[in-house]
Chains A and B, each alone.
Chain A
């Protein structure tokens, strides 16, 4: 009872912040534009947020964050829509949805598949919102007691987790992390005031802009590699979507997978470094394993849509827990959200909750509202999304280029940022060709300065003794967890399974 009382004033504050006309409008625009972009092939949530980040610069911080969060779920959800309708996952978290979702669509049951995905996601999102409201504040309280060694070890854990869960080779992902750390420390060193790795370029003394890096690596590079494949080929099912509502039998089959998916997603989402992709894959594997008749999977089993879709949404939601409570992003997308926070002049970290309760609770309330809007928006608008899918890529990518160029240029109103984006775009294409996953790099880029600072402080208080990281219990705990994580993943049996799971993904994801 006591907990409920403390929960309610907070959520009340949140809803009273979120339900202002302006904030509802930001939320709506975010969800709508996010879905729109998520439906377009070749742009995942990350690129969508990066592209639209500049639009939010002039908004108040609460509004900006609400809109970006809306874009995030919208893009996530748009990805599922294309997975079901055209077997093209908009982003990697909805890859498994393709398997049974597209089969259902082929059998003329696209409507129920989309509806179950939307309702499952909404349920998962609601649970996620409650979890954040419940566990965010206590976690932030714990985090306030963290010293430099704990923070450093926590970041090591998050980075290693992102490497372990990236596709492809672990050691290459580790290399990308180191590269990201290096990119992150470009600019003026806070302690000595010395400008590092600026190479005499005036713009670089402030560091590499996050937006520039993300747009280059994820926007520009993606377009080049899409064009290399001659534009994404799509086989759209042109029949009209007739009945949308799932049957009783569909509901009976779906509710348990939704619950399990939500639980799995919430677990992986909260872990720094893990995320929606691994949640949806694990849920699909679990559902297939415990099904009475596993042979139905791959032939249009609704459980294969309901479970993973709930899981990736729960994970997307719960990823906000470490991000907001600890100030440590769990994924590249969350890193972007924190970047947005910093641009708005708010230092991310556990203190945000106490210093800016309106921001924190407003965001949480708007997550729920955003999820609700997604259900209301998506089901009736499916016709529009389907139309959008028929737009050929040759007309889309110049538009994407335009949005990127304006977005980047408007950062500082100077062409230098455009040229930098170009450089990172070329580098990003090289990464694609060399099969180096850029997501861990982005995460490391954001954490780079934080890691250096905490390492410096940790060694200062320990008088240069590196054992400080293993003699302090919480820090040691993080490092042990990291080591276990890596060891488990390197174990031959699991390594093979991990490859099986991740190999199933088509290239364009």
Chain B
């Protein structure tokens, strides 16, 4: 009899658990195990990791038996777009130190572009309103210590 994966989401979920479990056990090898009576820093993570491998194997095994809905398509555009938005916010704030307003502008524009239906004037309006609101709330009212622009 040939094995067939009936539920791809369970199959990969199981692999994910196994992966995390093995990673935990490998990394924890650098920490002293100790004994049950005097647990070292490696004791708990090693056992949790081992349990995770067992659970992962069970989940994967189950995927051969129980039919699932399948993983479906991945939403690459929103995923990458929103990642870039956060990345840009972090870079502009810390590495380029251009200030709060440019960072928010980058964040809002990139976020908007991750959706399928963005309109230019709408994004412009939204950015203006949100940035003005955020500057008022966070910088003036809550007094977060961020410069609005690079010159101040």
Contacts and interface: CB of A to CB of B under 8 A. Distances in A.
Most buried by B among A172, A174, A399: A172
Interface stretch (A123-131, A188-196, A315-323, A365-373): A188-196
A429 interface: yes
A438 to B, nearest CB: 12
B16 to A, nearest CB: 7
B128 interface: no
Interface string A452-467: 1001100110011110
Most buried by A among B41, B55, B72, B114: B41
Contacts of B95: 415
B71 A433 contact: yes
Main secondary structure of the interface of B (DSSP, over half): helix
Contact of A433 (B36, B37, B72, B115): B72
Contacts of A434: 9-10, 12-13, 16, 71
A340 interface: no
A13 interface: no
Contacts of A231: 115
Given A426-B83, A429-B79, A182 B48 contact: yes
A398 B112 contact: yes
A409 to B, nearest CB: 6
A164 to B, nearest CB: 15
Given A402-B130, A452-B44, A435 B68 contact: yes
Contacts of A259: none
B20 A409 contact: no
Contact of A171 (B38, B62, B85, B89): B62
A402 B107 contact: yes
Contacts of B21: 178
A228 B115 CA distance: 9
Contacts of A433: 9, 71-72, 74
A25 to B, nearest CB: 13
A459 B47 CA distance: 15
B124 interface: no
Nearest to B122: A395
B13 A435 contact: yes
A399 B108 CA distance: 7
Contacts of B59: 169, 171-172, 175
A331 interface: no
A393 B115 CA distance: 9
B32 interface: yes
Nearest to A462: B37
Given A169-B59, A196-B31, A231-B115, A175 B13 contact: yes
Interface string B126-141: 1000100010001000
A194 to B, nearest CB: 5
A398 B108 contact: yes
Interface in A429-443: 429-430, 433-436
A418 B37 contact: no
A60 interface: no
A418 to B, nearest CB: 4
Interface string A323-354: 00000000000000000000000000000000
Interface in B1-46: 9-10, 12-13, 16-17, 20-21, 24, 27-28, 31-32, 35-41, 43-45
Contacts of B86: 220, 401, 405, 418-419, 421-422, 425
A399 B129 CA distance: 10
A340 B95 CA distance: 29
Contacts of A410: 138, 144
B94 A422 contact: no
A169 B82 CA distance: 30
B41 A419 contact: no
A353 to B, nearest CB: 30
Interface string A396-428: 011101100110011001111011011001100
B124 to A, nearest CB: 12
B17 A225 contact: no
B144 A227 contact: no
Nearest to B115: A394
A421 B82 CA distance: 11
Nearest to A457: B39
Contacts of B82: 220, 223-224, 401, 425
Contact of B78 (A181, A223, A415, A419): A223
A399 B41 CA distance: 42
A58 interface: yes
Contacts of A466: 36
A391 B56 CA distance: 42
Contacts of A55: 142
A398 B75 CA distance: 17
A460 B108 contact: no
Contacts of B142: 55, 58
A394 B112 contact: yes
Contacts of A465: 36
B120 to A, nearest CB: 13
Nearest to B15: A434
A415 B93 contact: yes
Contacts of A464: 35-38
Nearest to A415: B90
A402 B134 contact: yes
Nearest to A434: B13
A169 B10 CA distance: 9
A436 B134 contact: no
A178 B112 contact: no
A55 to B, nearest CB: 7
Contacts of A181: 48
Interface in B80-113: 82-83, 85-87, 89-91, 93-95, 104, 107-108, 111-112
7 contacts: A178-B48, A197-B24, A394-B115, A394-B118, A398-B111, A401-B107, A460-B39
Given A169-B59, A224-B82, A227-B78, 18 more contacts: A179-B17, A181-B48, A182-B24, A196-B28, A220-B82, A398-B130, A402-B104, A405-B85, A415-B89, A415-B93, A415-B95, A422-B86, A422-B87, A433-B9, A436-B13, A456-B39, A460-B37, A464-B37
